[in-house]
Amino acid sequence: MSVVVTYPALKRVALAGGTHGNEMAGVVLAKYWMKNPAELQRKTFIGNTFISNPRATEKCVRYIDFDLNRCFTSKMLNTSATEDPSYELSRAKELNKIYGPKGSSDAFDLLIDMHNTTSNIGNCFIPMATQDHLTMQMLNYVQQQSLFSPCRAFIADLPLEDAFSLDCVGLHGLSFELGPQPQGVIRGEILQRMRGLVNCAYDFIDLFNQGQHFSECQVEGFQVTEKVDFPRNADGEIEAVIHPDLQDKDFLPLHPGDPIFLTLDGETITYNGDSVVYPVFINEAAYYEKKLAFWKTKKITVTVPPIQVQKN
C-alpha cells in the first residue's frame, strides 16, 4: 500500500492571464474574473486573479522587450536592472515579490497560468514538476472529471533554479496550454474550454482542502527529449516548412521515415530517428524566434501516490 502524502491546505491560490499579451483566452477570462470573481469562489479558499504582463496585454503583443515566461529562473530574478533593464524582467521581479519569493515557504500555495498556442495541442497541462504529487493529482482529477477531453500533460521537469515560467513562483504550479488559437484572436470554444478547466481545477482544490482522499493514480505524460529546428541555409534562413502530413498532428506518433519537412524546392525531409516519438507544439508561431519547429517527446506513465490535506 502506498503511503499517503499530505500537504497543507491551499489557501492562497493565484490565477494568471496575459503572461503573453496576445494569448486572448487567458487575457479575457482574467479580466472578467477580476471584475466578477463570484464564479471562482469556493468554500475553502478565495482565488487571486491577475494580468501578469499588462503592457503587452494593452498592446496585444506577446511581450514588450523579452518573453516574460522566460524570466523566472533564479539567475534572471537575481539579475540587476543595470545588467538587464527590460520591462519584463522588472515585472518578473515584481511578480516574484507578490506571489513568491520563488522557492520560499512564503510563496502562494498554488499558481496557475493560462496560455494559448497556435499549434493543435487541444487541452494541455504543463506541471511544474512530476515530483509535485499534489499538482499531478490535480491534473489527474481534471483529466477524469472535465467535460473537455483529452487533457494531456507536457513534461519538462526542470530543476527549480532553471524553471523559467511564471507558475514556478508558487509552491505548486501548473500552466494550461489550449489550442489551436491564432495570436490576438478570441475563439469561443477555446475560451469555454479554458473556463471549464479552470473551474474543474478549483473544484479539486476545494475538495482537497475539505479533506477528500485522492487515491494513487497513473498519469500519462509526454516528456521532452529534443528540440527540433527548421532546416536552415548558411544565412540562417528557413529553407523548409512543416510538411502537410505532420501539420496539426501534435501528440500523435511519428515513425521513422514519416515526413516532417517540405523544402521550397518540393523535396520531402523524413524523420530519421530509430524510434517512435510524439511531436508537440508543431509550428507554434511564437517559437519561430526561438528556432523551434516542434518538440520531440516520449510517452511516459507517472505513478502518483495518494494525497490528503494535513490535519491541524
Q: What is the pLDDT of residues 183-211, one digit of tens each?
A: 999 999 999 999 999 999 999 999 999 99
Distance of CA 256 to the CA centre of its chain: 28
Say if residues 162 and 71 touch (Cβ distance below 8 Å): no
* Residue 1: per-residue pLDDT: 64
Is the bond preceding 150 in cis, omega lying within 30 degrees of 0? yes
* Residue 82: per-residue pLDDT: 78
Residue with grid cell 524570466, as numbered in its chain: 71
Phi, psi of 14 (to 5 degrees): -120, 140
Q: Are residues 103 and 151 in the same domain?
A: yes
Q: What is the chain's mean pLDDT, rounded?
A: 96
Q: Are residues 279 and 156 in the same domain?
A: no
Domain CATH code at residue 183: 3.40.630.10
pLDDT bucket at 84, cuts 50 / 70 / 90: confident
Q: Are residues 266 and 167 in the same domain?
A: no
Q: Are residues 117 and 19 in the same domain?
A: yes
Q: Are residues 165 and 235 in the same domain?
A: no
* Residue 46: per-residue pLDDT: 86
Q: Which of 102, 171, 100 is nearest to 131 (CA)?
A: 171
* Residue 147: per-residue pLDDT: 78
Q: Are residues 247 and 213 in the same domain?
A: no
Distance of CA 250 to the CA centre of its chain: 15
Task: State how many domains the chain has.
Answer: 2
* Residue 299: per-residue pLDDT: 97
* Residue 305: per-residue pLDDT: 97
Phi, psi of 124 (to 5 degrees): -135, 135
Please give the angle made by the CA atoms of 283, 288 and 294, to the nearest 5 degrees: 40
pLDDT bucket at 80, cuts 50 / 70 / 90: confident
Q: Are residues 183 and 252 in the same domain?
A: no
Q: Are residues 111 and 246 in the same domain?
A: no
Q: Residue 107's domain spans which residues?
A: 5-220+303-309
Q: What is the pTM of this model?
A: 0.95
pLDDT bucket at 85, cuts 50 / 70 / 90: confident
Q: Are residues 197 and 277 in the same domain?
A: no
Q: What is the pLDDT of residues 47-65, one digit of tens each?
A: 999 999 999 999 999 999 9
Domain CATH code at residue 292: 2.20.25.160
Q: Is 285 helix (H, G, I), strand (E, B) or coil?
A: helix
* 180, 166, 29, 131 alpha-carbon torsion, rounded to 10°: 80
* Residue 95: per-residue pLDDT: 98
Q: Is the pLDDT of residue 43 over 70?
A: yes
Rounded to an integer, what distance in angstroms lies between the CA atom of residue 167 and that of residue 176?
10
SS3 content of the chain, % helix, strand, coil (to 5): 30, 25, 45
Return the exposure string of 258-291: e unless at least 16 CB atoms fall within 10 Å of the residue's CB, then b. Answer: bebbbeeeeeeeebebeeebbbbbbbbebbeeee
Q: Is the pLDDT of residue 83 over 70?
A: yes
* Residue 57: per-residue pLDDT: 98
Q: How many CB atoms lie within 10 A of CB 312?
A: 5
Q: What is the pLDDT of residues 239-292, one digit of tens each?
A: 999 999 999 999 999 999 999 999 999 999 999 999 999 999 999 999 999 999
Q: Are residues 195 and 114 in the same domain?
A: yes
Q: Are residues 257 and 130 in the same domain?
A: no
Say if residues 175 and 197 touch (Cβ distance below 8 Å): no
Q: Are residues 146 and 229 in the same domain?
A: no
* Residue 81: per-residue pLDDT: 73
pLDDT bucket at 148, cuts 50 / 70 / 90: confident
